Amino acid sequence: MNTHILIYDSFVQFEVTLAAYFMKTKGEVYTLGLEDKALISCEGFSVNPSVLVENVDVSTIDLLIIPGGETDNLIGQEALLDLIRSLNRAGKVIAGICGGVSILKAAGVLDGKVYVDNESGVSNVVVDGTIITAKPNGYVDFALEIGRVMSIYKDEADLQETIDFFKHFKSV
């Protein structure tokens, strides 16, 4: 199973670190960038993309995760928006948290979907088909739901143990 995480200058790394950790247990995790250069997260980490948007093959992506950050200049990146649309047409799972949701909006994949910005309840995360969206402070729930949608848990007991450890800080 291949997970790709979009990285760009100012991306919020902590919002996707737990999801990356979970997904690494079942496959490979790749960083996906628009530029072939070191990108600086909002926390100050320098991260290089494993693959560029212009070179990635949609068929190799099982899950795309888009973190928050300063996303205004990404909204006009047609190569990125086309990739997201292609993934959506192919039925791939696409997950956006915080400002990442605005990228999904710009790509048009939230049209007719329920997502965190139009959810009237207090949910930190919303799953509508293959689209997962989350509020910034919902990063633990975001990671747990990504794992559930991607079927990484052995069974309900494994899921509950993961919830207990990462959400409720219980020893297991």
136: domain range?
2-166
What are the respective helix, strand and coil percentages of the chain, to the nearest 5?
A: 40, 20, 40
Task: Tell me if 172 is assigned to some domain.
Answer: no
pLDDT at position 117, please?
Answer: 78
pLDDT at 98 exceeding the cut of 70: yes
| CATH number for 60 | 3.40.50.880
pLDDT at position 119, please?
Answer: 58
Residue-wise pLDDT for 19-56, tens only, equals: 999 999 999 999 999 999 999 999 999 999 999 999 99
pLDDT at position 121, please?
Answer: 65
Mean of the per-residue pLDDT values of the chain:
95
Task: Tell me if 81 is assigned to some domain.
Answer: yes
pLDDT at position 148, please?
Answer: 98
Number of domains in the chain: 1
pTM (two decimals): 0.96
Place of tokens 């791939």: 92
Task: Tell me if 110 is assigned to some domain.
Answer: yes
Task: Let me know how long the chain is.
Answer: 172
Task: Tell me if 89 is assigned to some domain.
Answer: yes
Task: Tell me if 171 is assigned to some domain.
Answer: no
- For 45-106, the three-class secondary structure string (H helix, E strand, C coil) is CEECCCEEHHHCCHHHCCEEEECCCCCCCCCCCHHHHHHHHHHHHCCCEEEEECCHHHHHHH
Task: Tell me if 46 is assigned to some domain.
Answer: yes
**Are 65 and 29 a contacting pair, CB within 8 Å?**
no
pLDDT at position 172, please?
Answer: 76
pLDDT at 120 exceeding the cut of 80: no
